[in-house]
Structure 1
Amino acid sequence: MRRAVVTGVGVVAPGGRNREEFWQRIVNGKPAVRPITAFDASPYRSRIAAECDFDPAEYGLTPREVRRTDRFVQFAMASATEAVNDAGLETGDEGERVGVSLGSAVGASITLEDEYVVVSDRGRRWQVDHSHAMPFLYQALVPSSAAAELAGRFGARAQATVVSTGCTSGIDSIGHALRLIQDDEADVVIAGASDAPITPITVACFDAIRATTPANDRPEEASRPFDSQRRGFVLGEGAAVLVVEELEHAAARGARVYCEIGGYAARANGYHMTGLRPDGAELGDAIGDALRQARLNPEELGYISAHGSGTVQNDRHETAAYKRALGQAAARTPISSIKSVVGHSLGAIGSIEMAACALAIERGVIPPTANLTSPDPECDLDYTPLVAREARIDHALSAGSGFGGFQSAMVFSRLREAA
């Protein structure tokens, strides 16, 4: 079977404008959460978020690109450019073997909401006036515009796809890239996910189901995965893009390899839109399947990047899934949630967490779970509280869980030849 490796990493995240700033932020366990500045959030229950300090011009985006694209597309373009440069990849001459796989949960929600305000005269008109809409409104309507922008930017002429499976979109998009490589549909796939959901409508949606935290008085301490004092997750934004490449293709051009994609599996619980079965069966099954594909025993895992959203339901469900899938090895495996630092950027977070796994393998450091000062007694695994650890990591697992019942798992491994 054709093997897929990661040869480039690009990240735009809260508190980190690029890959290195992101890595330093999560390793230091310094949360990038603050009161929302994107709009007046005073009427809302949850008024804090992990926002990106993002200037598209700094990333080489032209005024025309900025004009026609939503913030989530700009995040994707910036992180993809960093990843492609990191990989030393020249895509022009072999674009027919280069693909795009991009995940997003909510797409261009900022542009759609802003433009609705305009064409409806701030909601006063039921019959909206299209003549006041921006000329690129259709591109905001279809999430596929993000994949199209990346394909055009890098001359990728193989399959270009958008994956939208809620909060597992970031893992699933890389999983789709893996399949494209294995099926000989592409030699290189620019893969990852992006979301910019910090908008009034998104904040209102999560307020309605009380999923986000109301701990507005101390933003830096509000995201508390696996902690008994947690009160919900913190909304975030950002993107991560990886260059996923067929191993022999990467070797032929002398590319540096971060890691190999060892296994990927996804499940649906068919149970409830927002509810989770307490036994963690489906997530545990996805984890077990990913490990089998990677030909690993649970004892071989060196690190788990947890979904770790900071809700009671999810944290306990996830703990049960690890115990179910890993058995006794669950208690001995270091686990952490970087959402404690960068918040929950919905569809993007899975790719951001996979970027963290690639860097953890390369650099031998396990990022900590920030704000974990009083662990939930029912979350009794090693969730790496407060302080990073140095450790050799040959195999890292990332698990994701999304509204709608989506459950995904992916294994990154140190390249066997290098090991």
Structure 2
Amino acid sequence: MDRIVLTGVGPLTPIGKGKEDFWNAVVNNFPGIKKITKFMPDQEFYGGEINDIHFDEYIPDTKFRRATEISKFTMSAAKMAMDDAQVDSPNIKNLGLVVGLTHGALNYTQSYHELLVTEGPESASPILFSDSILNAPAGNTSICLGIHGPVHTLIGGSVTTIRAIMLAVQLLATKKMEKSVIASAEELNKFSLYCYYRLGINTLSEGAGALLIEPEDTKNNQVPYCYISGFASQTNPSNLQSALEESVETALKKANLKAKDVDLLMTSPSFPKVQQLDAYEIPMGSLDSITGNAFAVSTIWNVILSALCIRHGAIPLPILKNSAPINNEIRNVMICATESEGVAGVLILSKIS
């Protein structure tokens, strides 16, 4: 199997849009957590908000002007990643798309059901319904960007991005795709903010991220950021720790690496200790304090930042959660994600030598 390389990234975040703005914001510890202004809740909520973007800069097609924000986020991030990789979709027969979502278009879903209940079926807009289904962001993106290969949507928490990457790699390996866009998106919703606040989960955020991956032998003038050297995902509802440790072990084995070879570990703030990694002083990083928690999107932001760390050969100090020594060269970055239901996922990106 040819190595799968990452050739394009597209971050759409509360701290920056596009790879240059995103990287500079992280390096300079730009605060993305602010008072949310798009709703008028009874109490103040703080999080990461996308409120200064003009979608026609990314998506000039006016037929998508009434699409949900989560679809617009997905389209914009995917377009950034394709442009970054210099991919022209009409010339690629089997360009595929895998989208990982956590909540979907909550605002359109809420509006549709509110009209349905209060005013009857005649008043419920079919546009609200069609754009609120969970695979609408993937469908809109494939139509908008001319993606004619396989299109998939995965639903879940923060591990969903890693599983979306794993699915895309599998489809590339079996030649069902020539190249693949992987995207994740999230939109803020007033009622979900209330619900998560009551559960003690604060500083939620919205936005999107996208990657473009392809086999290394693909004819492309772009210099890859890195290659995908290892990955794994396990589920153990009764023992999250076991699922995580097994995922770490499997991913390291696939990458032919030892734990001591990992130069950076990107995680969530609540990441549990891992036996295989604790014996080594590995720098640990997290974006949540800067960007807020966007569930599956937070994981793809971690993947994008990891690729940029390998490209720049540096780790931005504001993301670090410990004082471990930093290597002069960033060769291997491990991205870990966990969910309270006992789901774990691990992805390893490695420098191309």
| Mapped partners of 1:61, 1:403: distance in 2 | 40
Provide Cα deviations, 1:18-56, integer angstroms capped at 9, x if missing partner.
22111111122222111111101234xx61111113332
**Pairing partner for 1:135 from 118, 126, 129:** 126
| Mapped partners of 2:196, 2:88: distance in 1 | 42
| Mapped partners of 1:282, 1:164: distance in 2 | 19
| Mapped partners of 2:341, 2:79: distance in 1 | 32
**Pairing partner for 2:189 from 199, 202, 210:** 199
- Give the aligned partner of residue 218 of structure 1: none
- Give the aligned partner of residue 112 of structure 2: 115
| Mapped partners of 1:61, 1:133: distance in 2 | 28
CA contact (8 A) 2:263 2:327 kept: no
| Mapped partners of 1:102, 1:129: distance in 2 | 33
Provide Cα deviations, 1:240-296, integer angstroms capped at 9, x if missing partner.
1011111111xx23222111011111111213xxxx75xx22112212211111111
**Pairing partner for 1:167 from 140, 158, 164:** 158
| Mapped partners of 1:244, 1:83: distance in 2 | 10
| Mapped partners of 1:108, 1:153: distance in 2 | 18
**Where does 1:62-73 land on structure 2 (aligned, <5 Å)?**
62-67=61-66, 69-73=67-71
CA contact (8 A) 2:337 2:344 kept: yes
Q: Output the TM-score relative to the length of structure 2.
A: 0.93
- Give the aligned partner of residue 301 of structure 2: 352
Gaps of 5+ in 1: 213-233, 309-314, 373-380
SS in 1 for 2:65: helix
- Give the aligned partner of residue 12 of structure 1: 12
Name the CA shift for 1:6/1:116 in 2 (closer, same or farther; >3 Å): same
SS in 1 for 2:170: helix
Provide Cα deviations, 1:225-244, integer angstroms capped at 9, x if missing partner.
xxxxxxxxx20111110111
Name the CA shift for 1:101/1:407 in 2 (closer, same or farther; >3 Å): same
Among the aligned pairs, what percent are the same residue?
21
Provide Cα deviations, 1:396-418, integer angstroms capped at 9, x if missing partner.
11011124332111001111xxx
**Where does 1:4-403 land on structure 2 (aligned, <5 Å)?**
4-43=4-43, 47-53=45-51, 54-67=53-66, 69-95=67-93, 97-120=94-117, 125=118, 128-196=119-187, 198-212=188-202, 234-249=203-218, 252-271=219-238, 277=240, 280-308=241-269, 315=270, 318-321=271-274, 324-329=275-280, 332-369=281-318, 382=323, 391-403=328-340
Residue 341 of structure 2 is aligned to residue 404 of structure 1: yes
- Give the aligned partner of residue 225 of structure 1: none
**Aligned AA (1:3):** R
Q: Output the TM-score relative to the length of structure 1.
A: 0.79
- Shift of residue 153 of structure 1? 2.6
SS in 2 for 1:296: coil
- Shift of residue 86 of structure 1? 0.8
| Mapped partners of 2:327, 2:204: distance in 1 | 29
Provide Cα deviations, 1:73-127, integer angstroms capped at 9, x if missing partner.
11111111111111111221332x211001110011121123333444xxxx3xx
| Mapped partners of 1:243, 1:281: distance in 2 | 31
| Mapped partners of 1:210, 1:21: distance in 2 | 31
Provide Cα deviations, 1:168-217, integer angstroms capped at 9, x if missing partner.
22222122111111222212001121111x212211221232222xxxxx
| Mapped partners of 2:319, 2:5: distance in 1 | 30
Name the CA shift for 1:133/1:391 in 2 (closer, same or farther; >3 Å): farther
| Mapped partners of 2:96, 2:285: distance in 1 | 32
CA contact (8 A) 1:115 1:134 kept: yes
Name the CA shift for 1:139/1:406 in 2 (closer, same or farther; >3 Å): farther
| Mapped partners of 2:147, 2:161: distance in 1 | 20
- Shift of residue 327 of structure 1? 4.5
SS in 2 for 1:158: coil
| Mapped partners of 2:206, 2:264: distance in 1 | 24
SS in 2 for 1:356: helix
| Mapped partners of 1:16, 1:348: distance in 2 | 14
SS in 1 for 2:8: strand
SS in 1 for 2:296: helix
CA contact (8 A) 2:12 2:207 kept: yes
SS in 2 for 1:136: helix
CA contact (8 A) 2:264 2:330 kept: yes
- Shift of residue 383 of structure 1? 7.0
CA contact (8 A) 1:265 1:408 kept: yes
